[in-house]
Structure 1
Amino acid sequence: MSRLPHHTRSVPHRSRGLVTLAVLALAASAGPGAAAGAPAVGERMALTAFADVTAGATAGPGARRAATGNLIRNGSAEKTKGKPDDFSRVTLKGWSVKKSEQFTAARYAADAPDPEEYGQRLAKNSPGPGSRGKNYFTGAYHTSSATTGRATQRLDLGSHRSLVKKGATFELSGWLGGYAGNKDRMQVTLTWLDRKGKKVGKPARLAPVTVADRDILTPGEPGDEVTLLAERTASGTVPKRARKAKVVLKALRGDSGVRAAYADKLSLKLRS
């Protein structure tokens, strides 16, 4: 995909209010066997920035009502005691992290005088979700030069079996980002499993918010990327044989050596 042109914005630093700098939408056509009227299998990518923005499309009159709450446990790292830096390892409740993997949770820094200043650590007022807690996920924790950091969560869909067999749809979302001009990035993958744990259907992915994306979302000239979070969403039809699911957060190292990639407010909901 060709890179979109950089958009220069002139917006006062402390009075941006509700600002949407960019929204990019990508939708893949429905694959074979998709239920009639169901959302296309693939990804809808929404990039929104600045702390007071609520991202995502508004549900219309005919929208399906959510049949479940958020199935991801501790999707905002709030059930974890985050450290005041990105480099201390903590136990992530609800998530599995191998000793060989590099993944942790950290606390947002205090409000920055200028959250768009180059090189700012992810702060409470950094561009991102309007309502956020104290913590976020990061792959920056390091004890080695591992190229990735990974956290995994397995979900039991047994209590939603009837819903799934009738052709449920899903909505996967999360706020992903990275540090300044670093190429480190976060990726989220959702895999469906049958009752024996074998893969069924097509995985869903939240594509990383890359340094190029952050450049597009940043006011000013190209190359002045801001540390931020932007929303990614994906939707589709749940395979009827799915009885379990696996969610994997993967921090991918770019050129920094520390996997300074971020995630927050992860959600998976099923609809009837």
Structure 2
Amino acid sequence: MRRLSYLVVLLLLSGSLAGCTSPPDDTETASGCTYPDALNFNESAVTDDGSCEYPEPLEETPGCTYEGATNFDEGATVDDGSCEFLQPPEEKPGCTYSNALNFDENASVDDGSCEFRPYLVFGCNDTTALNFDANATYNDGSCEYITQHVLMVLIDGWRPDSVAAGQTPTIDMMMPDSAYSMAARVEDTTISGSGHSSYLTGVHRDKHNVHSNNFEGHNYDQYPYWFRLLRDSAPDTHRSAYHNWPTMSDAALDESVCSDCGDYFQDYDQNIVNRLVADLATKEMNAATLVLDLMDARGHGSGFNSSNPQYIAGMNQTDIWLGEVMDAIFARPNYVNEEWMVILSSDHAGTGYGHGYNIPEHRNVPLIIWGAESPGEIWPPPDAVDAVPTALHHLGVDIDPAWSLDGRVIGIYPTASPIAALGVNLIFNGDGEFERGMTPGIDASVPGWVDNEGMTTWIYNVPTYLQTTDPGPANRGSNYFGGGTGDSTMYQEIYLTGIEAEIGWGNISYSLTAFLGGYSSQNDRMEVLVEFFDSSGNLLLSGGIGPVYAADRNDTTGIFLRGEIGEVPPSSAYVRVTLNAYLSYGYNDAYADNVSLILSTQ
């Protein structure tokens, strides 16, 4: 048994010794650079042999490496502490909520000061309205505005002196708030047809083409009743007419221009007034016209005379009707928010039992504008054609030059005759250019002058009359003075209040000049007179230039400069300048232009 054990041990030892007889070959083991960061790293190397090679270290670049800095340098590798940063903005306290009443767009920090409206406040938020509510956030349609209204009244056959002669409390009440004239001018025909037409169209008879009470051939299409101009400019306005003369109304009016044509042809003035009073209580009435005929009827029946009780009774009754109309205006529900203008005038005056002559007694009428912006007497005296542009202006309508209206807006600014001064022309409208001239055959009244009959302004270049190429002033305008149909005269009186002290020293001279002449070989001739008066009306000195006869101008059509120099009397208070035109035969072709009176120290 022991023998067998030795044998096993021997066998085991012999196996172990047999594996140790041949050691491994070292030359087969791989060596190299075993560091991964090296440039020559050998991933197969088992044994590092010290051959590793490394990249040279990068050169450091100093600078600001903070991206939020204003001077950040993206190429910098090392921060050098040079970074610069924006300073934090200065805080501005205020209300930063845009829907707040006191929102401040410049505020950066809300300071709790915001103020807010209630979420929804109904009311008028239009700042131009009378009842504007600053707290309203929603316009509920309740806004109220000032509205303009005009009533034009034509009192047929109205003499200026009848107002003082009658009992007229209504007109007396209106006068302090009125621009007015008791010498307004109407058409030279002084007939109702042309007078009504001029008052209600704003143009003279050479345009509307109504020269009598026959309306055939009228030119209302081109120069219409003023309602059409208002309709075209302000279509939403309410327009109403109250006439008692169907011939005129049928020719000038229709429903296309009149919202309510209240024409009561079969009735008299009282019935028309009643209708107007009733309409004033219920209708908008932006523009209305009223024609009253009683005074003309009384004049024809008993005489146009302020001493005639029947005629003055007509004035008194007319004033009563005007009172009823004014009371109706004052009683309107919204009167406090309305601006009214009431214009009173006439188509002609009269003498005896009629009218129709081109004389001041027929041609001068009252014109009263209640509600004018500038109350007081209008100077120079206006024309009936001034009513339409004045009414349109009050209603906010711009006057279109294409309408070719002859009138001008009046009652806006204070007016007065010029104050006398040394070294300037004292004659107003001495060149006839204040209003447009006419062609021969129509007598234009001349503003600033008292025209007794016939003297007028004509336009240059009418065939067989004065031409701009004829002898005359180099600076002539469009018009010149013409004699008219017969011997004629006109004058103006100039008060010397502004220079009375200088005149009193006795060292003032005057220079009177004018261009005077006529047509061809006709002896129609013009002269200019100058007269100085003291404060009591005593004549102190008279002088003059002309007349210029045909022989003086060598039978040539033209006007030629004439002049006179003299000494002004020391006690002179006013001076009168008169143009006299003398007729030789036919039509009066006496001409004048650029009339001048200058006072100066000697």
The two structures have a TM-score, normalised by structure 2, of 0.29
1:95 aligns to 2:435 (yes or no): no
Q: Equivalent residue for 1:137?
A: 481
SS in 2 for 1:75: coil
> Do residues 209 (structure 1) and 515 (structure 2) align?
no
Partner residue in 1 for 2:586: 257
* Residues 60-108 of structure 1, C-alpha deviations (whole Å, 9 max, x = no match): xxxxxx932100000000002101x22211120100012xx22110010
Q: Aligned partners of 1:164 and 1:258: how far apart in 2?
A: 42
Are the equivalent residues in 1 in contact too, given 2:531–2:543 (CA < 8 A)?
yes
Q: Is 2:457 aligned against 1:105?
A: yes
Select the residue among 161, 165, 173 that pairs with 2:500: 161
RMSD: 1.5
Q: Please give the per-residue CA displacement for 1:16-53, whole angstroms capped at 9, x wherever unaligned.
A: xxxxxxxxxxxxxxxxxxxxxxxxxxxxxxxxxxxxxx
Structure 2 matches for 1:1-272, cutoff 5 A?
A: 67-83=422-438, 85-98=439-452, 101-109=453-461, 120-139=464-483, 141-142=484-485, 146=486, 148-166=487-505, 167-200=507-540, 202-215=541-554, 225-254=555-584, 256-272=585-601
- Provide the rounded CA distance (Å) in 2 between the counterparts of 1:86 and 1:171: 31
Moved beyond 4 Å, runs of 4+:
none
Q: CA contact under 8 A between 1:80 and 1:91: conserved in structure 2?
A: no
CA distance in 1, matches of 2:441, 2:516: 18
Specify the code of the residue in structure 2 equivalent to 1:261: A
Letter in 2 for 1:179: Y
Give how far 1:162 is off.
1.4
Structure 1, unpaired ranges of 5+ = 1-65, 113-119, 216-224
Deviation string 1:104-132 (CA, Å, 9 cap, x unpaired) is 1001017x8xxxxxxx4201111111111
Return the structure number with greater relative CO, CA threshold 8 A, min gap 6: 1
If you compute each CA radius of gyration, which structure gives the higher value, 1 or 2?
A: 2
3-state secondary structure, aligned to 1:260:
strand
Amino acid in the other structure paired with 1:103: M
Secondary structure, counterpart of 1:129 in structure 2: coil
Q: Distance in 1 between matches of 2:575 and 2:434?
A: 21
- Give the % identical residues: 32
Q: How far apart are residue 258 of structure 1 and its match?
A: 2.0
Contact 2:514 2:592 in 1 (8 A): yes
TM-score (norm 1): 0.64
Report if aligned partners of 2:545, 2:563 keep a CA contact under 8 Å in 1: yes
Q: Is the 8 A contact 1:79 1:93 kept in 2?
A: yes
